[in-house]
Structure 1
Amino acid sequence: MDTTPNDIIVKVCCETYTEEDIETSKKLVHGLCSPPDRYKKRRGADRCSSNMLDILEVLHSTPPTEVPMFASVKLHLPAVDLTNFDVSLCLQEVRMVRQEMAVIREASQDNFRLRSEFTKAMEDNARSVENMESELASLRAEVQQLRDIKFDHMKDVPISQECRSYATVLSQDKSAPPPTPRLTGKQRQLTVAPTTTLASSPARPSVTDGNSGFTQVRRRRRGKAIVGRASNKGSLVVAKPRPVEVFVSRLSVETSAESLTQFLHDNEMELVDCEKLVTRFGSYASFKLVIGKADSEKILSPDFWPSGILVRKFYQRSAPRDH
């Protein structure tokens, strides 16, 4: 009664029992349960279904401990066919069983695959160990052969030849040439063989070392240069001095090459070129200036520039060397 729907109970009872049996059962339930509502006598064509609904309503409203219990003398069990069978519940259970079987099948396939992979890995490891053992045995045999060859060779060498030193050889053979002395790096640069003659170079003063037998060549010093100071005479024109390259940084990001050029012109500076450089960070601006030689001291003076600006000579980065 608690799990079966009311319409199914009503249909089964109306098809199984007569209207008089249902009416009698209704009176009996009302007399035993004493519901608050009065007894209603149903009329019409569907009074059998209405009486069954009244019976079910009284039984549901009665506390479980006060529901009367009946024993049938002549039990007439209704025939239960597929129309009154809960097929959805059975299908749900069958679906759950199928899902569990699929999970079990996948787990068994994974276990079989893992077992086969593990077996293959063990076989590969066993073959690798066998190969390493065979290689180790061959290496041991080669080392033993080398030891035997060395031992045999040491047997053939006389002890007198094996233990002779250079002093012993000199004492036995006095006609042997003296050993060549070792020279330092500076001596190698300043010494040449006594028989070497350079035809294209002028003669240089030399000093002969009687102990080693080599001739030491001294470098000739250049004469001291002078710079003219007289006024310009005739048609000689002095070359212009090389301009100075200056690096200026820590300027505002909005600073342009035109504004910096205007600043230099306003301060009577001879500007050759002004180039804006690519900075590592975008918080400041840097420039490369090319200034005349006469203004080099002025432009590198701290009093010429506003406070906080960094100025120094420009150094070109060297190209990376090829290794």
Structure 2
Amino acid sequence: MNNLLKQVIDENKKYTNYGQVASYIPELKNAKRSDLGICIIDNNNKIYTAGNYNTKFTIQSISKPIVLAMALMDNDWTSVFSKVGMEPSGDPFNSIMKLETNDTKKPSNPMINAGAIVTTSLIKGNSLEEKEERMLQFFRRLANNDSIGINYEVYKSEKLTGDRNRAMAYLLKNDGFINGDVEEILDLYFKQCSIEIDCVDLARIGINLAMYGVDIESKERLISEKVSRMIKTFMVTCGMYDASGEFAIRVGIPAKSGVGGGVMASVPEKMGIGVYGPALDKKGNSIAGIKVLEDLSEKLELNIF
């Protein structure tokens, strides 16, 4: 498997030349465009790696399915989905348009920024500090890595340049989809996006989702089976922004991308995959990372459809 991963990384490295690192968050411009790495953890807890698999990067939108799991475990489902929808938007991840034009005005799904701000607002806690600690502990437990923390340089960069997210949040507050202090909710949202991980962490979270919420090592249930199924379904339908349909056809694996260059994939009952390639396509997905997953899906027959 390690040889196969090295081959796939080497064959797809050229695609990094066709993408660009994210620049709208200034700190993300520091990423090395040519980086490309992967980790796979299988259902026997075996770890396989290749390329720049241990390079640290911020999780960004890959945090969205994890925080959605928290929101669903903290709240009644009816309440959660009265505030955020279940349908693909067909629009860019940071679009604000449908908050005004939809009949309901609620965000289309939890994988776009507006929907994720709603789910972040639903995390339970008596203070911002308590919510942040609960969130971090959940990520650490899912990744089996107690050293996971927040990259505060990226967090500050996101907070300084987050006016579009700020506009969404105030619209959501005005229309009754979030309660509480808007700036506090945004602070937690910017921090969740700035959690720093690597491909191994993503693969570990991916395999725990693949095993329907049961930790591959301890056999402890971390997420209910029903929630883990829902999370993977959202990853299939909405996880790759407005390229989710094409990805489902070409690759056929539940996956979630982030503008930090990461992609987390979860093959039910088989494996978790973490990919890193900060050169992005025009829709905000890792351009070489998608090619890597497409090759692996074909070579290992991973397509769930």
* TM-score > 0.5 by shorter chain: no
- For Structure 1 versus Structure 2, the TM-score category normalised by the shorter chain is under 0.3
TM-score, normalised relative to structure 2? 0.17
Higher radius of gyration, 1 or 2:
1
Q: Which has the higher contact order (CA 8 A, sep 6+)?
A: 2
The answer to which structure has the higher helix fraction is: 2
